[in-house]
Structure 1
Amino acid sequence: MVSDNMTERLIVGLDLPNVADAEKAVRDLDGVASFYKIGYRLAFAGGLELARDLVADGKSVFLDMKLLDIDNTVAQGVESVVNMGVTMLTLHAYPKAMRAAVAAAKGSDLCLLGVTVLTSMDEQDLVEAGYEYDPHTLVLRRAEQVLAAGMGGIVCAATEAAAVRKIVGADLAVVTPGIRPAGADHGDQKRVMTPADALRAGASHLVVARPIVAAPDKRAAAQAILAEMQAA
């Protein structure tokens, strides 16, 4: 079930160039944030060791690796991630890969998340990539496949959260990146929503990176977003 504690539902994206900057961000947010996302940029700059350190310090970690490979390779990767003790791991929502990951994570507390359509992509981007579906239709198809595979949740744009929630039910995590406070720059995101609207739409967790880690006062930025979440 979705927690009432907004600190557990705000995931701060440590989209930073090095571990030193990430560690400083975590220190700046001490007592405000407790859940952190580590993606490619930081992972390839020492972020996997940082993930272990954060787990050891009692923090929750969302490892955003978007795995996709042959079944055996996916399964072996998931087994290694289980041993790290992180809370969430992403993989692209391809049915075979998801089934392999679920089997590998069985008996653990790792929440596996299926990535549907990246929030930087619109309909023309999907056409160019060879998909026959528009983003909304593809997201809903992936949501059905996530549920059938026994995954722990789904990653989608907040604009699709309400429709996804109807498919996956109340128990699965619906994690939404592309969150921007009112008036914030959208950057390269094309399907965005405010924190309050995302929660009202059915999101269980919000991933917020640049509006927090690029803010002059990270702590104040995170507190403002938490206040908006609480008001929703």
Structure 2
Amino acid sequence: MSPLHSAPSDPADRLIVALDGMDAERALALAAAVPQLRWVKVGLELFVAAGPPVVQRLRDQGKRVFLDLKFHDIPATMAGACRSAAGLGAELITVHACAGAEALAAAQAAAGAGSAAAGLPVPTLLAVTVLTSWEQRRFANELAIAEPLEGYVPRLAQLAARAGIGGCVCSPLEVAQLRADHPAPFHLVTPGIRPAGAPLGDQQRVMTPAQAVAAGASQLVIGRPITAAPDPAAAFAACCAELAAACS
């Protein structure tokens, strides 16, 4: 499989299904039950429960893996973590932008070394700016960060880009501004995606799939609207159809 250089054109390649809140067997069964599915997200819950082997088992199904562990530590530790993650075959890996330029650059270099040692394509590192569960008032009150989100997010994205990171994870509401600042091939992956009529859950800053792609998102992360649907394959196909219609 080739590394990512631009936004995929096939709607199925734009959708990443989050395998959150389930154990390894359920995650593997769900992934296998959606024939069109290309990309899956392995987050903290699943990775802690199932360990690195779950990444290989998903890859054995032919799935491409977004490893969303949001590394944030000193430069040497972030580098070691990204080296190992790249060696597992993860093609998208998250790091926190607020770790700083030195740690981000070390993580990027180590990911390249880890993938080369394993004979795999270099993964795309994605810098997390501000989690989509935050809203402005709590962000200011709890973290004592007075800068508005609309200024703080682009500043972190710029920091990541200057450190050589290949993209960002951001709220869909920030995609248009980040895309204007960072043209392709800078990769923008957006959680907080909810098809029209779907419950918001713990997400605060959301868009529909069509809206997010129109704003400039490269790929979209969708969890419960697909994984908790009575028919996940049908829900995934409906999201693909919405994207195809929006892009036609």
Q: TM-score, normalised by structure 2?
A: 0.90
Q: Deviations over 1:116-154 (max 9, x none)?
A: 010000112221112222222111111111211111110
Equivalent in the alignment of 1:161: 175
Alignment match, 2:119:
none
Corresponding residue pairs, total: 231
Q: Deviation digits for residues 61-88 of structure 1, max 9, x if unmatched?
A: 0000000011101101111111101110
8 Å CA contact 1:34, 1:60 repeated in 2: yes
Q: How far off its partner does 1:201 sit?
A: 0.2
Residue identity in the other structure for 2:106: A
Q: Give the RMSD, CA atoms, in angstroms.
A: 1.2
| Distance in 2, Cα, partners of 1:53 & 1:140 | 36
What is residue 122 of structure 1 aligned with on the other side? 135
Q: What percentage of aligned pairs have identical amino acids?
A: 42
Matched, 1:89 2:89: no
In 2, are the aligned partners of 1:126 and 1:133 still within 8 Å (CA)?
Answer: no
SS at match of 1:62: strand
Alpha carbons 1:38, 1:47 under 8 Å: kept: no
TM-score calculated relative to the size of structure 1: 0.96
Long gaps (5+) in structure 1: none
Give the aligned partner of residue 33 of structure 2.
28
Deviations 1:23-60 (A, max 9, x none): 1211211x211100010111111053111112233210
Is the CA contact (8 Å cut-off) linking 1:116 and 1:155 kept in structure 2?
yes
Q: How does 1:1-232 map to 2 (within 5 A)?
A: 1-29=6-34, 31-94=35-98, 95-106=101-112, 108=115, 109-127=122-140, 128-232=142-246
Whether the aligned pair in 1 keeps the contact of 2:28 and 2:58 (CA below 8 Å) is no
Which segments of 5 or more consecutive residues in structure 2 lack a partner in the other structure? 1-5, 116-121
Q: Distance in 1 between matches of 2:230 and 2:245?
A: 24
Offset, 1:96: 2.7
Question: Which runs of at least 4 in structure 1 moved beyond 6 Å after TM superposition?
Answer: none
1:97 Cα shift?
A: 2.2
Contact 1:19 1:47 in 2 (8 A): no
Inter-partner Cα distance in structure 2 for 1:156 and 1:188: 15
Q: 1:106 is paired with a residue of what secondary structure?
A: helix
